Structures are given as structure tokens and as C-alpha cells.
Amino acid sequence: MAGLSLNSASCVRSVSKFSECNLCDVICPVEAIKVAPESLPAINLFSCIGCGGCVGVCPTEALKLDHFSATEFFFEFAAEQGALISCQKNVPCLSVLNVEHIIALASLKGEIVLDMGHCHDCSITSTCKPQIEKNAHEANYVLEAMLSRAKVVMNNVAYDNETIKSERSRRDFFQTFTLKNAGKAKKDFDRNIEMAMDEFVEHSIHDVNIAKVRQKELPNKRKLLLTALKRAAKPEIYHVVDAHALSFTSQKLLDESTCTACQMCYRICPSGALSSDMKNSKIDFDPFLCVRCHLCHDVCEPDAMTLSTSYNIKEFFEPTAQNLVMFDVRNCHECGLAFSSLKGEKICRRCQIEEEEAKELWGIK
């Protein structure tokens, strides 16, 4: 039983029912998260063990643990002298850290050690350990491509926490109920009751603040990575790497012949990686802002948006917006509204669909 909460406005499944993201469901070792079609993740707090694997894989940081913050841990660990990260020392599970956290910490400290010594006899190793190993290998791959000497080491340290936790006395319990702590105690009590309910808590899209859903926001883990990269030395050569080896960003291609200029991709992009101008006359893409949530691909009806097979490390140090396509903005001959024309069309996409439906209704080919 552990405290896990979902910020529905940040979940990509709130933006579109076509989102296929189910990373939190897949990695959960105790099946405490279920993702049904066209719905937000449902969480069973009673079954949740608080490993944080779902938190680590969420591309938009929509999931959060009550007792652990990866952002706070980042600053605390970066300020420490040690390099060991262990589930028995400073994190609930190594899988709670995203590959971006690992790259950033390794870049700042020169070397970090992931304690794998407790994984072999851990009950959640089936899903969490493969993710930890994948993150470590990916981090080293990126660091090597950056020509950095920093590295991530996986060792069977098996750190043993010998700190003795004394039980709180009855007097200590009543001392918590001071005027200052009464509010917090009540909040904690309500949260414990919520976690004790052995049932899945549904999250409704209708309860989401629409303004928050539309807000473009870069996850903290990307901001931390950007901060760490600013302190790192720029490589003499910018290598081009295999894009399939990167799980946290991407490079995109757009097929102009199939794009319908519907504007959907850049309007629903949660991080602002895809953008346009005031006239909607183009689609630009900034690879470093991409969180690889796959939402733009999920909503693209003609599948005009595809992933490139390569990624230039230059985007880490000199991020630039790349133009994917340009449109000719003109007024529709039917409705008079401005629209983005790809092939010289005289009527907008909406009027074109209405015209085709009318012809079908009247049996006109």
C-alpha cells in the first residue's frame, strides 16, 4: 500500500482518446494500474507498493509518489559526495529514475553507481529490473555519443541500511496534534483511508481542467537534463546516433503528400515540440523539446508523421526548431475562413468533407 497520484491534466490520454500510451500499466509489477481503451489510468492504491516504476516511465511526469520526488532527489544527490544510488539508501526503486535523470546526474558527477545487489531476490524484479538495465545502457550510449567521460556503473553492492527506526510512543503520537500539525495529520489520515480501499480509483477526463490540458509544459526531468548539459563540455564532433536507441526524445519526418494540414499534431503536443505560427502556415519541430509520448503519431489520421531512424546529438547542445512543412494560407471559397492549403485547394478540409458527404448522400460520384 503506497501513495500514488495522477495529475490527469498532464496525462497524454487526457488530450486525445486516440492516445496509445500505456507505459505505466506495462511496467507495474503488481498490476496496480490499469489502462482501458479511451480512458485514463485507474490506480489501486491498496495494491500499489510505491516502487515508482510508473513514475519513471511516464513521458509527461503525470504520476507522482507521495513519499518521493525525483526532482528533489536530483538536487540532494548532486550536492552529495557519494555516487551510490540504492533502493536501500536513497530511492524506493532504481526504476523511479528516468534515463534523463541518470544522464544528467552522471554528467554532473562523472560517475554514478546503480546498486543492483538487491534485484535478484526482489519480488518486483520481473518488470523493474529490465527497465533499470535499459535505462543504464541507454544513458551510457548517449554519454558515449556526447564524447563524455561520465559513465553509469551497475554493481551488486547490496547496500545495507543499518539505521534503527525506533517506534513512536503514545506521547509522540499526541504531540503531533498541535495546532500547527493538526491540518497535516488530518490530511495524512484521509490519505491513509484512501489507500486502504482495495479498489481501482477511476480518473475521469470530464474532471480535468481544460485550460491545464492545453497548457504546454516541459517536464522537470528535461529541464534538469538541459541544466546538466549546459555545464558539460561541448563535444568536438556531433555524432548521429540510432534514434531507436533513445526512449526520451525523437526526430520526426513529415510526408507532405499525405498531410491534410488539420493542425492536430501541434495543437495537442504536450511539450510544445511541434509548433506553428499565427497564420498556421507551417509546422516546426524542436527535437530537444520532444518527450516521445507518440501522441502526434496516434492522432495523425493519414499517418503523415513518422519517426526518423537517426538523431543528431547536436540537438542536446544547440537545439533548433526544424521546419517540417510550409502551407499556403488562403480563404476558403465555400465558408470564407482562412485555411492551410497544401496542393492549391480552393476549399478547406471541413468543407471538402461536407461536400463529399453530400455527394454520397445524393448518390453523386
Give the model confidence (pLDDT) of 286-298 as tens digits.
999 999 999 999 9
d(CA 204, CA 202): 6
**Confidence check: pLDDT of 184 > 70:** no
| SS3 label, residue 235 | coil
Domain assignment present for residue 167? The answer is no
* Residue 289: exposure state from Cβ atoms within 10 A (0-12, 13-18, ≥19): buried
Please give the pLDDT value at position 13.
Answer: 94
Residue 335: inside a domain, yes or no?
A: yes
Q: Is residue 224 part of a domain?
A: no
pLDDT digits (tens, 9 = 90+) for 18-30: 999 999 999 999 9
Q: Which residues contact 226 (CB under 8 A, 6 or more apart)?
A: 288
| Stretch 343-356: mean pLDDT | 86
- pTM for the model: 0.83
Identify whether residues 50 and 95 lie together within a single domain. Answer: yes
Asked if residue 96 lies in contact with residue 65, where contact means CB atoms within 8 angstroms, the answer is yes
> Could you tell me if residue 229 is inside a domain?
no
19 and 54 co-located in one domain:
yes
Q: pLDDT confidence of 338, banded at 50, 70, 90?
A: confident
Average pLDDT over residues 22-43: 94
* pLDDT over 70 (residue 75): yes
Give residue 213's pLDDT: 76
What residues make up the domain containing 30?
4-160+176-214
**What total number of domains does the chain contain?**
3
Q: Are residues 124 and 185 in the same domain?
A: yes
Q: Is residue 221 part of a domain?
A: no
pLDDT of 168 over the 50 cut? no
Residue 246, domain CATH? 3.30.70.20
Residues 307 and 341 placed together within one structural domain of the fold: no
pLDDT at position 179: 45
Q: Report if residue 208 sits inside a domain.
A: yes
For the residues of 197-239, what is the DSSP string, one character each?
--SEE---GGGS-HHHHH-----HHHHHHHHHHHHSPPPSS--
Q: How confident is the model at residue 204 (pLDDT cuts 50, 70, 90)?
A: low
